[in-house]
Amino acid sequence: MGVKISNEKFFDRVDKGIKDTFMRKAVSEAQSRLEGRKIEVTEELGNWEDWRDLSEEIRQHTLENLDYYLEQFARNVAKQGGHVFFAGNAEEANDYITSVVKKKNAKNIVKSKSMVTEEIGMNEALEEIGCNVVESDLGEWILQLDDHDPPSHIVVPALHKNKEQIRETFNKKRQYDKTSDPDELAKFARQELRKDFLAAEVGITGCNFAVAESGSVSLVTNEGNARLATTLPETQITVMGMERIVPTWKELDILVTMLCRSAVGQKLTSYITGLTATKEQGDVDGPEEFHVVIVDNGRSKILGTKFQSALQCIRCAACINVCPVYRHVGGHSYGSIYPGPIGAVLTPLLEGYEDYKELPFASSLCAACTDACPVKIPLHEQLVEHRRIIVEQEGKSSFGEKLAMKGYAFGASTPSLYQMGIKGAPTFINTIAGKDGDGKGAGPIKLWTDIRNLPKSTGQSFRKWYNNREKGGND
Amino acid sequence: MATGTIQNQDKFLDKIANQLGRKRQTKEVELPAWKKAPQYDVFKGLSMDELLAQFVIQCEKIHANVVVTKMNELEEIFHEVIQKLGGESIVYWNDSRFETYGLTAALTQEKEEGISVHEWKSDLGKKNIEIAERANIGITFSDITLAESGTVVLLSDSGKARSVSLLPQKHLAIIPKSTIVPRMTQASEKIHEISKNEGRTPSCINFISGPSNSADIELRLVVGVHGPVEVTYIVIDDM
Amino acid sequence: MKVSLFLTCLADAAYPADVGRSTVEVLERLGCEIDFPKNQTCCGQPAYNSGFHRETRDVAKHMIRTFEHADYIVSPSGSCVAMLKEYPHLFEDDPEWIGRAKKLADKSYELTQFIVNVLEVEDVGAEFEGKVTYHTSCHMTRLLGEREAPMKLLKNVKGLNFTELPNKQQCCGFGGTFSVKMLPISEQMVDEKVQHIEETNADILIGADLGCLMNIGGRIDRQGKSVKVMHIAEILNSQK
């Protein structure tokens, strides 16, 4: 799939999102529920800010020493019989993964949910060599059956779909003939997918956190599909973004705690699975061959910049669940597999500004995201930093805006000009605003008055009142 | 065991070090003393009985059935639970604790009553998986139990197979009360010690908190997706 | 105690004297002596949030010079004060200005924050009859971290019939240039806010930031609704 999920223009995508009433209702309800549950389990701890501080410190330390921890991790994986491949970009990762699959002569592949494999377009690469790749996360499976509809949320990928649509998809693609009751739909998915699990020669997973000290990878799930994908197939391939690592099991504890509570408001999800290399001697289940692919794909160039803390992200979607912009436009409007505030920060870093120059501006900078982030990424500040780069380095602001901002700054640093301006402002506003304040004006003022009135500037100004008073006059 | 391969490492890690504005870290990096440690405040100073009470409360929230019993009543309770879960067919770990707690005899009894009972045996190979896949109940023992989250921690080995808690319709976990700790923190410390001292971490460590579930359809909770649709815990007072 | 008033450009240019005047009168009643540096302009936020940081530095330098003499800078806007507190970041690489920026940031307060935390007053003796609700502005609560002062003061205003605003933590959709650059999104956000305001059945929406009030009030007016918006300074300055 790749990061990019749409060729439409930004405002066309937004328009489509705003008009999708079902999606908006679903998103709004999901946000309330997920956020409500998160607040419940974080307040219960009583010292959530301490947890956030600790998590931030762990993530910062790990990123500062990332080369060391990745090397330690790789050494421990290999020592226990696993194979490690460091992939600089998507192509290198896909080449390695397809070569492993070819060597195994494998045709049937079962996958558990993984954003990084979406990012590198791994499914397409495997399908190209003739493999049947089955997404086993219920949400991802629904999207895959529905002709690869892109995900709209990083934790609940099919959030934008309703059960009727899902029933229809199951019916069309798999001759499902029962009701749209979620229990029945899920039961059907269980039966269908169980066959795929039993037939699969290769299981592919993402990785929530790798543990350097033991060479383990951990998977955080509720459905159990990641467990099946790593229990039945003879070969396991785990694909991880290079920043998804912790030093020891003790730090894993903290970050898993933060992830489960922030993502779904659970103390722990149903399954936290720690997998270390291949199965051991005498083991019947588990993989005989284990590969881990560590992916850079644009991440390393974020290190050492003002955006480094974006790599602290643990993909919990807490920022998405509180974002008012996301609530109204939905995930697809971002045009990226990474939506919401973290998507608006991360996508231009990974893919460049050309296709995503609007994203950093699609925020009122309300900072709800920054407050919600369990690892304390200053998301709204990073959006401002993107804006600075777009203006100062990429030169992507319009001529009119440049002129306006230069004029503004000159005026706001030259008192005489400023005072002239504010003296004229009420007359100016009243002129364009009309008697009722709903006039049309021009430029940004026209946009403002497209949907709102201007304030009514009647009565004397503050300065006039203040001057009079100083002179001893009354108001 | 054959050692695995590591490919493309230096170029990759050099780039990281370069971006961080320094040379590669060659010396051991020591973990700093973290400024905060809130994880130790959870259930601090609680007695075993209080931890057990917390565990039971949490189980209700995560839709896990829980029964607490004494050693002398275990056999009877065990039989009741098996009946309640619908009997039929059982697969269980090859684990000496079944013998220690007198459950091997209890399982023999079940067998005599017509229930199909299978102990996981390495030398039967993939046959075990076929049996587990068809079984109604899979029985395991908790190695570490977390009060805060209602979790059983299962450390795999050749007899303690991953499939037993995963493939059957229902999962029954036996929990010696002595295995209960406040939260994941204490379990992680144990695993940290194992990987430090024993050189090899168990290939699969599962933290299981209730039945498999999903909220992927309209955010409605569906219990039982890919894993067991029902989870039952029997806590034995072994202290 | 001498207090230097930073009026903010919106109160200076777009609105009549009421907000500034109320701010002055409330502070005077509490024993403060008001200084109004006439050369003051704008905090620079429109340029800063649009990515024009070079231009913002010019504005910031002017504001630092203008307020350098002040003991306390008080402003009837959480958002503009949060911007003053951003100045040190703007001059990270400028040893001459960073110290001056820090000094300015350290002595800047939003009005209610100043009254509650510096003057240590929670009852300003105000009286106002009306069915009201209150919008907690994002920059006031999240950037400035001031979540309690306005409510502490409102609680002691006699005659207020207060209903809490549902989903009060949600942004009204103003966001400075966001309100015009991302018009369709801003519109959805302000509509949701207006809907929640209506759910309270309040006649008056109180806020502590003119940006939010201009946005919400402008939308309410456009829709021909009768809810009135008022700045918290006006409420605190009301007397029987």
State mean pLDDT over B222-237.
Answer: 94
Query: Which letter, b or e, does each residue of B142-159 get, where b requires 16 or more Cβ atoms within 10 Å of its Cβ?
Result: bbbbbbbbbbbbbbbbbb
Structural domain contains residue A326: yes
DSSP string, chain C: -EEEE---HIIIIIS-THHHHHHHHHHHHTTPEEE--TT----SHHHHHTT-HHHHHHHHHHHHHHHTT-SEEEES-HHHHHHHHHHHHHTTT-HHHHHHHHHHHHTEEEHHHIIIIIS--S----EEEEEEEEE--HIIIIIS---SHHHHHHHTSEEEEE-PPTTTTS--S-TTTHHHHTHHHHHHHHHHHHHHHHHTT-SEEEES-HHHHHHHHHHHHHTT---EEEEHHHHHT---
Domain that holds residue A251: 65-297
Domain residues of chain C, as ranges? 2-117, 123-236
Percent of chain B past pLDDT 70, that is, above it, reads 100
Structural domain contains residue B64: yes
Radius of gyration of chain C (CA): 18
- Domain end call among A276, A297, A318: A297
pLDDT of C114: 98
The mean predicted confidence, pLDDT, of chain B is 96
> Looking at the domain that runs over C2-117, which CATH code has it been given?
3.40.50
Structural domain contains residue B22: no
Do A322 and A194 belong together in one domain? no
Do A125 and A262 belong together in one domain? yes
Tokens found for residue B62? 């995560």
Structural domain contains residue B142: yes
Structural domain contains residue B206: yes
CATH of the domain at A251: 3.40.50.10420
Distance CA C42, CA C40 (A): 7
SS3 content of chain B, % helix, strand, coil (to 5): 35, 25, 40
**Is the confidence at residue B113, as pLDDT, over 70?**
yes
Q: Do chains B and C touch (3 or more CB pairs under 8 A)?
A: no
Domain that holds residue B175: 50-237
Query: For the ranges A279-283, C64-68, C78-82, which has the lowest average pLDDT?
Result: A279-283
Closest CA to C230 of C11, C19, C20: C19
B224 pLDDT band, cuts 50/70/90, is confident
Cross-chain Cβ contact B37/A278 below 8 Å: no
The 10s digit of each residue's pLDDT in C85-134 is 999 999 999 999 999 999 999 999 999 999 999 999 999 999 999 999 99
Q: pTM for the complete prediction?
A: 0.95
pLDDT of C180: 93
Do A142 and A215 belong together in one domain? yes
**Is the confidence at residue B104, as pLDDT, over 70?**
yes
- Per-residue pLDDT for chain A (475 aa), expressed as one digit of tens each? 799 999 999 999 999 999 999 899 999 999 999 999 999 999 899 999 999 999 999 999 999 999 999 999 999 999 999 999 999 999 999 999 999 999 999 999 999 999 999 999 999 999 999 999 999 999 999 999 999 999 888 889 999 999 999 999 999 999 999 999 999 999 999 999 999 999 999 999 999 999 999 999 999 999 999 999 999 999 999 999 999 999 999 999 999 999 999 999 999 999 999 999 999 999 999 999 999 999 999 999 999 999 999 999 999 999 999 999 999 999 999 999 999 999 999 999 999 999 999 999 999 999 999 999 999 999 999 999 999 999 998 888 888 889 889 999 999 999 999 898 888 777 766 666 665 556 556 677 888 888 999 887 678 899 999 999 888 765 5
Do A165 and A229 belong together in one domain? yes
Pairing between β-strand A209-211 and β-strand A216-221 as defined by DSSP bridges:
antiparallel
Of A329, A408, A448, the CB nearest to C179: A448
Q: Chain A: nearest CA to C133, how far in angstroms?
A: 20
Cross-chain Cβ contact A50/B36 below 8 Å: yes
Interface of B with A in 162-181 (CB under 8 A): 162-163, 166-167
Q: Are residues A38 and C207 in contact, defined by beta-carbon separation less than 8 angstroms? A: no
Chain A contact present for C180, CB below 8 A: yes
The 10s digit of each residue's pLDDT in B19-38 is 999 999 989 999 999 999 99
Instruction: Give the HSE-up count for residue A50: Cα atoms under 13 Å, Cβ half-sphere.
Output: 13
* CATH assignment of C123-236, among 3.40.50.2000, 3.40.50.11810, 3.40.720.10, 3.40.50.300: 3.40.50.11810
Of A370, A388, A392, the CB nearest to C142: A370
A161 to chain B: closest CA residue: B218
pLDDT of A318: 97
pLDDT of A470: 84
Tokens found for residue B24? 């590669």
Indicate the DSSP class of residue A390: I
Distance CA B156, CA A274 (A): 10
Do A237 and A117 belong together in one domain? yes
ipTM over 0.85: yes
3-state secondary structure of B9: helix
The 10s digit of each residue's pLDDT in C38-61 is 999 999 999 999 999 999 999 999
Interface of C with A in 132-151 (CB under 8 A): 138-139, 142-143
pLDDT of A430: 66
pLDDT of A438: 60
Examine domains C2-117 and C123-236 and report if their fold is the same.
Answer: yes
CATH of the domain at B79: 3.40.50.10420
A370 to chain C: closest CA residue: C142
Q: Are residues A297 and A337 in contact, defined by beta-carbon separation less than 8 angstroms? A: no
Tokens found for residue C129? 């009859």
Interface of C with A in 159-178 (CB under 8 A): 169-171, 173-178
pLDDT of A154: 87
Q: Chain B: nearest CA to A162, how far in angstroms?
A: 6
First to last CA, chain C: 26
- When divided into structural domains, chain A yields a total of 3
Interface of A with B in 106-145 (CB under 8 A): 136-139, 142
- When divided into structural domains, chain B yields a total of 1
